[in-house]
Amino acid sequence: MQPIRRSDGAIDNAVHLMARDVARETVVCHGCREFVFMMWPFGWDVHSASRCAGIGGSDPEKRKLEFKRRFRHLFRDARGSGR
Ligand SMILES: [Zn+2]
């Protein structure tokens, strides 16, 4: 699967891509499809903790875990090294 970009350049199909495809790119949030990460994955924790409409619940830590569980393949540390 190749990255699909919106007219503004943000990658719109991150959920179907791999970490290497989206790292440091402008990426539409794969949870809510509204928020745009200006340099994925920078800011993912803040966004998922409270703002992402695609993640349920109100506990920030649980929300972050849910976000990372669903989109684990978009993090470079998918196999456990580093952040
Ligand atoms: Zn979101």
Task: State yes or no: pLDDT of 79 exceeds 70.
Answer: no
Is the whole model's pTM more than 0.95, yes or no? no
The Å distance, Cα 28 to ligand 1 centre, comes to 8
Distance CA 3, CA 1 (A): 7
Condensed to tens digits (0 to 9), the pLDDT of residues 45-71 reads 999 999 999 999 999 999 999 999 999
Cα-Cα-Cα-Cα dihedral sign, residues 17, 15, 41, 27: positive
The Å distance, Cα 39 to ligand 1 centre, comes to 14
Task: State yes or no: pLDDT of 80 exceeds 90.
Answer: no
Task: State yes or no: pLDDT of 82 exceeds 90.
Answer: no
Task: State yes or no: pLDDT of 81 exceeds 60.
Answer: no
The Å distance, Cα 53 to ligand 1 centre, comes to 6
The Å distance, Cα 80 to ligand 1 centre, comes to 23
Please check whether residue 60 is in contact with residue 5, taking contact to mean a CB–CB distance below 8 angstroms: no
Condensed to tens digits (0 to 9), the pLDDT of residues 16-49 reads 999 999 999 999 999 999 999 999 999 999 999 9
pLDDT at residue 83 in the model: 45
Facing residues of 5 across strands?
11
The residue with tokens 């409270």 is 50
